[in-house]
Structure 1
């Protein structure tokens, strides 16, 4: 759609600008293309921005352009051959001043731009007055004292010249229409003063088209100075100016935050002033050198061009600074605040985390937030770790990689994009510092959890030994002592007592083996694959094992076993999975343990849980544990364990 719009725009510029030297049919094609494009834009705005007459007024203006083009082509066909098409002079008289309806449509558009309402109740009589004046102008135009508008200027008037009173009223209506149009422009100024930032951004887009219209006489003068007459360049620029007006309305209504309108306005003003100065410098230099070396001498033109070339760069730079300071001081203040903070950070007088507060002060925007993309977090967080809402976000990138965001409900995205580019280095420093601080906090928390887990494990071993094997061994020792005392008297069944002692001893050995298995499963002596196979044989969920054949170091093997065992147990007990896959591979200097299930997902690695313990066990080896568990999409646990290559 955007490419089609550009093609239509180019066709309209070429054909419409060439109306003076192309055939009438091609001129009509250009005007019709322009009018249809404007009308289509109005229809799009009507459907996209409901209950707003701006779109309908824009479509009406486009329809008027098409009508005027068709009228002129019809007239020219009749003039070439009066028998080709029918034409009544009364119709020519009636449509003589119909071009004023385009001015009326633009005036009504300006009065209701951009929110579809009038600036205040005091303006409620202006729209009907514009319509009445346009109707009166068309009525008085049916019997003018002047010739009809081109190309019908040679035709006679069917109703003769008007009376003096009618002529005076005609001039009054004409002046009234011009005053109404100027009043519509004044209404935009009044609306701008009372508007919020988004509405001001929309009005600035319309001001851009106004600057283009202001620059039109400058372009005409430049062409006259260079070529001696006003021709193609001025015509093309005039057509582009008209198109710019309607395009500015479209951009303002549909995507006013597409570009930084302040930047566009500043560049336009700067280049317009530079153009004026260069035209004056060229004319003065050409006149002076023409007197010295001759008016038609190539040296005069070359010298004047050289003077303009020397003036261009310093003049443009100085003007740009002045215009920037006057047009958007808050953006300039934000960039200056970033520069000052960078200097203070360099001299250790400030911290990069002060960026958010500095930007809030410079932009006068208390809603502005600076979000950092830290791997340990699930989204964007500020320097205190508080999540940043994902509304109105402008990405901050460095080297093509996103490192953070700027968020604001007041400052426009176009301004935020400029600030984001300038603040990228400070955000990267803050992000790295935040990532390092988070890693240190996690190391400290992991160390605390490891100590707590060690204490809990020692207490469990002490309790299991005391309540299990120790009690059985004590009971066995007491039975043996009793047998020793009663053996001489023959009052005890030695065989039964020995059988009982052997049974107690066997139970104690089994309990000790069970305790030892919790420290290091004896099944690992046969390899990781066999140990996991023995673990999963009796599970109700099918488990697919893809285990590497190469032997691993014992600490890597034990950790991989416990990661897989915990993940398999969780999937079987809590995830309602129908299939589990365990994959253990080695790539370069790391072993990857991946356990994936197709369960309900939504696993929570909360502190004190089994997953948190696994993360601590993996971190103790210098590895990392990652969890991907979106609700309804299953769970994947991946442990990366460093090892010698």
Structure 2
């Protein structure tokens, strides 16, 4: 079954190729080519629908009656004409099959109207329509084929299968009444479906309904004038029939379902504008021609100038009239959006109100406007909260762009009634959406700066408290103990207790050594004295104290004291993380100047996986660098080591 649509298309193409070869030169070329194109388009559309949606019977219907037309109409007709011209047998049979083939094709379109677009009837009451049409087909078909009046369809001028005893006229009259009634009812099912539909389904029905309405107007007229003006009737019928499967296929596959109203509106607008401008051109030419003479070049130039000047305001005026007359809701919505933009420019409205305006004008209270922040590459709502679902709701999504850049996204509900109205409102309200995005981005950046400064202040305060607590509880107490021990030794020496004094002094020395070690540990996070001589000596001091090999490269030149301090703390934190957490065996500590920025890099060969979580040393570094107007980047893939890069502004 997967390859059956392709096989049916191939059979139709082969039959049409044979039909073209048989018919070529025996009838007008347009007749041969256009109906072959119609059959191939129908078969191709059916094959696409059947391959993509095998459960939809419309694709199989197209494949079936395209093959039927190729065999029973085009190929049989070609055989009949070629057999008559060459004296081959079976000419009358081929012509008879051709004469009877149009009714089954019409029945196929009747079923298409009833089943479009999902392959199901509009309701249980519509089941009688195809049966009535089938009854009309069974009555009208034999009556049409056996009628003596069909002699004009045969090259001999006589119907070889005509039966005088059969009331063919009555059969045709009754059968065609039933058949046409069922056909009209099937076309009416499209109206019923349209009234019940919304959104994309309504778009599908609009496209097919326009093509069906055109065919419904052209085909009866071509039937009436078939023998009066055969060329025009046949061309009109072929074109209208070719459009039907093409539009049906595009609608079912939902391939770029542009609003059909746009085409109708543009047709009405530009037809009216063309007619008015043509009349204005003729009137100007006539008026000036009587004065300046018809052959004067000034007449043509003046008429052309009038048309060029009047085109734009006339088009806008006619478009406004069409919208006001045929799309009242869309017209009022556009006016409401224009009033909102005027209030926004005058400062009477806030840009964040654009979401409420869109909800009001579309009647969609669940519509959501998301704004795109290019720096963080995320979508946020109007409060700056990242969107939990940036993929679009069940009603689809509409991306908002300005000058080719993404600005935001509108996510309507599944029941959005008029997607084209929403698109036009988004287009006209794009300025408000852009202002809202800038406002949200500014508020988020200010909040981030405030949070960063708060974290820096808290970190400094906490560090001061830690130093105060450690000094008070550790080194200070030890120094007090040492003082008491020395005082006690003094008393012991006075009492000539030399041995005891020696032991006491030894204990005091141990306490002094421990105090010195503790003070050195406390001072480890403070800028060393070597920083007074520049960044390179400070980095070398860090490398000497590290338990693993450290390769150091730093410029000898001096920088701002704050920049040097930040660079030192970056190196200190990077080395600490590499030794304590990354289990590195070698570290590279480098600094260089590039285009007015001091770039500090700490790279190790450790286990990687470093993440700057809140409250960690890396988070504090990020805040310190940001406060100085710099950028901190961390590349720490698991198993690939960690590279910490900070860019600090240091002047040109």
Instruction: Quote the residue 2:133 is aligned against.
Output: 130
TM-score normalised to structure 2 length = 0.77
CA 1:159–1:32: 2 relative to 1, 3 Å = closer
Question: In structure 1, how many angstroms separate the alpha carbons of the residues matched to 2:233 and 2:583?
Answer: 75
Q: Is the 8 A contact 1:341 1:352 kept in 2?
A: no
CA 1:448–1:120: 2 relative to 1, 3 Å = same
Instruction: Quote the residue 1:432 is aligned against.
Output: 438
Q: Is the 8 A contact 1:373 1:379 kept in 2?
A: yes
Q: Is the 8 A contact 1:114 1:202 kept in 2?
A: yes
Q: Does residue 169 in structure 1 map to residue 171 in structure 2? A: yes
| More displaced stretch, 549-558 vs 102-111 | 549-558
Instruction: Quote the residue 1:79 is aligned against.
Output: 84
Q: Does residue 117 in structure 1 map to residue 120 in structure 2? A: yes
Instruction: Quote the residue 1:7 is aligned against.
Output: none
Q: Does residue 209 in structure 1 map to residue 219 in structure 2? A: no
CA 1:214–1:571: 2 relative to 1, 3 Å = farther
1:549 Cα deviation (Å)? 4.5
Question: In structure 1, how many angstroms separate the alpha carbons of the residues matched to 2:110 and 2:604?
Answer: 66
Q: Is the partner of 1:373 in helix, strand or coil?
A: strand
Superposed counterparts of 1:433-448, under 5 Å: 433-448=439-454
Question: In structure 2, how many angstroms separate the alpha carbons of the residues matched to 1:551 and 1:582?
Answer: 17
Q: String of CA shifts for 1:522-553, please: whole Å, max 9, x gaps.
A: 787645764675687549xxx9x796646563
CA 1:244–1:88: 2 relative to 1, 3 Å = closer
| More displaced stretch, 68-77 vs 587-596 | 587-596
Q: Is the 8 A contact 1:376 1:435 kept in 2?
A: no
| More displaced stretch, 584-593 vs 609-618 | 584-593
Superposed counterparts of 1:420-499, under 5 Å: 420-493=426-499, 497-499=504-506
Q: Is the 8 A contact 1:202 1:256 kept in 2?
A: no
Question: In structure 1, how many angstroms separate the alpha carbons of the residues matched to 2:329 and 2:529?
Answer: 70
Instruction: Quote the residue 2:597 is aligned against.
Output: 590
Superposed counterparts of 1:360-375, under 5 Å: 360-375=359-374
Question: In structure 2, how many angstroms separate the alpha carbons of the residues matched to 1:635 and 1:209?
Answer: 65
Q: Is the 8 A contact 1:356 1:369 kept in 2?
A: yes
Instruction: Quote the residue 2:107 is aligned against.
Output: 104
Q: Is the 8 A contact 2:371 2:409 kept in 1?
A: yes
Question: In structure 2, how many angstroms separate the alpha carbons of the residues matched to 1:238 and 1:564?
Answer: 83
Question: In structure 2, how many angstroms separate the alpha carbons of the residues matched to 1:637 and 1:261?
Answer: 57
Question: In structure 1, how many angstroms separate the alpha carbons of the residues matched to 2:68 and 2:585?
Answer: 68
Question: In structure 1, how many angstroms separate the alpha carbons of the residues matched to 2:133 and 2:540?
Answer: 91
1:87 Cα deviation (Å)? 1.5
CA 1:234–1:25: 2 relative to 1, 3 Å = closer
1:62 maps to which of 63, 66, 82: 66
**Structure 2, unaligned runs of 5 or more:** 1-15, 223-227
| More displaced stretch, 264-273 vs 170-179 | 264-273
Q: Is the 8 A contact 1:547 1:584 kept in 2?
A: yes
Question: In structure 1, how many angstroms separate the alpha carbons of the residues matched to 2:120 and 2:48?
Answer: 19
CA 1:621–1:122: 2 relative to 1, 3 Å = same
CA 1:273–1:510: 2 relative to 1, 3 Å = same
Question: In structure 1, how many angstroms separate the alpha carbons of the residues matched to 2:62 and 2:545?
Answer: 74
Q: Is the 8 A contact 1:260 1:415 kept in 2?
A: no
1:187 Cα deviation (Å)? 0.9
Instruction: Quote the residue 1:144 is aligned against.
Output: 147
| More displaced stretch, 337-346 vs 234-243 | 234-243
1:490 Cα deviation (Å)? 2.6
Q: Is the 8 A contact 2:145 2:162 kept in 1?
A: no
1:359 Cα deviation (Å)? 0.4
Question: In structure 1, how many angstroms separate the alpha carbons of the residues matched to 2:108 and 2:243?
Answer: 16
1:74 Cα deviation (Å)? 2.5
Question: In structure 2, how many angstroms separate the alpha carbons of the residues matched to 1:401 and 1:242?
Answer: 43
Question: In structure 2, how many angstroms separate the alpha carbons of the residues matched to 1:385 and 1:633?
Answer: 35
Q: String of CA shifts for 1:21-63, please: whole Å, max 9, x gaps.
A: 9976785455334422332222222232352222222333433
Residue-pair matches, total = 601
Q: String of CA shifts for 1:135-171, please: whole Å, max 9, x gaps.
A: 4333222212323565x35442223354473311212
Q: Does residue 324 in structure 1 map to residue 323 in structure 2? A: yes
| More displaced stretch, 523-532 vs 503-512 | 523-532
Q: Is the 8 A contact 1:627 1:635 kept in 2?
A: yes
Q: Is the 8 A contact 1:208 1:265 kept in 2?
A: no
Question: In structure 1, how many angstroms separate the alpha carbons of the residues matched to 2:343 and 2:324?
Answer: 23
Q: String of CA shifts for 1:471-521, please: whole Å, max 9, x gaps.
A: 222222222222333333332356555554444333322222221221236
Question: In structure 1, how many angstroms separate the alpha carbons of the residues matched to 2:203 and 2:77?
Answer: 38
1:387 Cα deviation (Å)? 3.6
Instruction: Quote the residue 2:6 is aligned against.
Output: none
Instruction: Quote the residue 1:45 is aligned against.
Output: 49
Q: Does residue 408 in structure 1 map to residue 412 in structure 2? A: yes
TM-score normalised to structure 1 length = 0.78
Instruction: Quote the residue 1:509 is aligned against.
Output: 516
Q: Is the partner of 1:461 in helix, strand or coil?
A: helix
Question: In structure 2, how many angstroms separate the alpha carbons of the residues matched to 1:632 and 1:622?
Answer: 31
Superposed counterparts of 1:173-572, under 5 Å: 173-210=175-212, 212-213=214-215, 239-255=238-254, 257-271=256-270, 316-375=315-374, 379-388=378-387, 389=389, 390-391=391-392, 392-410=396-414, 411=416, 414-493=420-499, 497-520=504-527, 526-527=536-537, 530=540, 538=548, 549=555, 551=557, 553=559, 554-563=561-570, 566=573
Q: Is the 8 A contact 2:110 2:182 kept in 1?
A: yes
Q: Is the 8 A contact 2:528 2:538 kept in 1?
A: no
